[in-house]
Amino acid sequence: MLRRLGLLGVLLALALVVLVLVLPPVAGRDTSSGTAATGTAATGTAATGTAATGTAATGTAATGTVSTRARATPTVAETVPTYGYRVVAEYPHDADAFTQGLVYREGVLYEGTGLNGESTLRRVALETGAVEQSVALDAEHFGEGIAIAGDRVYQLTWQTGTCFVYDRETFALVDTFTYPTEGWGLATDGARLVMSDGTDQLYFRDPETFAEVGRVAVRDGGEPVRNLNELEVDGGEVWANVWQTDRIARIDPATGSVVGWIDLAGLLSAEDRQGREVDVLNGIAHDPETGRIFVTGKLWPTLFEIELVPPR
């Protein structure tokens, strides 16, 4: 009997050993270091990296770069005001004058005209449009914008890179300067000459040497404004005709930002255009003493005095 019990005990012991070796460990048994239990649920990329600190869940939903950037730098630029106009008076204008520059100083209207073989600098009677004094450029030069600084009148040329400087009273040639770009518009801010070349750039030049002393790129809501043409300075702003449009850009010269537009659409009536070979709006003159504003265009029969109408 005892032998049987001893044999049975041995068999039971062997069975327990087999069970221990064969059966799998209880799930979650090794909670401190097991990969299945902690590698994913506690610190694994799939569970913690996404749900707790991952880019997809936290980076976008809580403090996402995309939504924050969109609020900080919107892609749609704020619009600047657009001014209308009211015609105050109309004056006769030489319909054969290809106007490239216009200046009004101390009751006198000065005009620069273009086209090869027809380019001039003129003194014009405002009330009648009569040319009171004129000097012609050589046929190789296509006259462009003009500006007055002190007792001198400056006149650009389009593609020959020459600026002519005249005595304001006699129109005698007193100096010439050269520059590497095309010449389009010219004005003065009282200390510097401001020049355009048909691009989106404004150049600032020393009136004594014509050396470039600065430049700025013109932008409207981040977009370049090209074809800057005839220029004027009014109230610290640079006003620029934009070639082949009826609009004038009002530009902050310090930053190049467009701070406003003037829409002159419809200024020259259909009746005035009929039967005439009129060209684009070009020519802005501002009287710094009275604030009067004059505008005209190439081959236009009329010079207009206008007032700006603020946007509603």
41-60 confidence digits (pLDDT tens): 333 333 333 333 333 333 33
Report field, pTM of the whole predicted structure over 0.85: no
> CB–CB of 102/94 below 8 Å?
no
User: What would the pLDDT profile of 288-301 be if each residue is shown by its tens digit?
Assistant: 999 999 999 999 99
* pLDDT mean over 243-263: 98
- Which DSSP string do the residues of 143-208 spell out, in sequence order? EEEEEEETTEEEEEESSS-EEEEEETTT--EEEEEE-SS----EEE-SSSEEEE-SSSEEEEE-TT
The total of other beta-carbon atoms located within 10 Å of residue 299's CB is: 20
In sequence order, the 6+-apart residues with CB closer than 8 A to the CB of 122 are: 97, 110, 111, 112, 113, 131, 132, 133, 134
User: What would the pLDDT profile of 102-131 be if each residue is shown by its tens digit?
Assistant: 999 999 999 999 999 999 999 999 999 999
Taking the C-alpha atoms of residue 177 and residue 181, their distance in angstroms, rounded to an integer, is 12
> CB–CB of 82/263 below 8 Å?
yes
Count CA within 13 A, CB hemisphere, residue 72.
6
> CB–CB of 120/164 below 8 Å?
no
Residue tagged 């405002």 (tokens) = 126
CATH H superfamily, domain 82-309? YVTN repeat-like/Quinoprotein amine dehydrogenase (2.130.10.10)
Distances (CA, A) of 54 to 35, 36, 46, 62, 70: 20, 21, 9, 11, 21
User: What would the pLDDT profile of 55-94 be if each residue is shown by its tens digit?
Assistant: 333 333 333 333 222 233 333 345 899 999 999 999 999 9
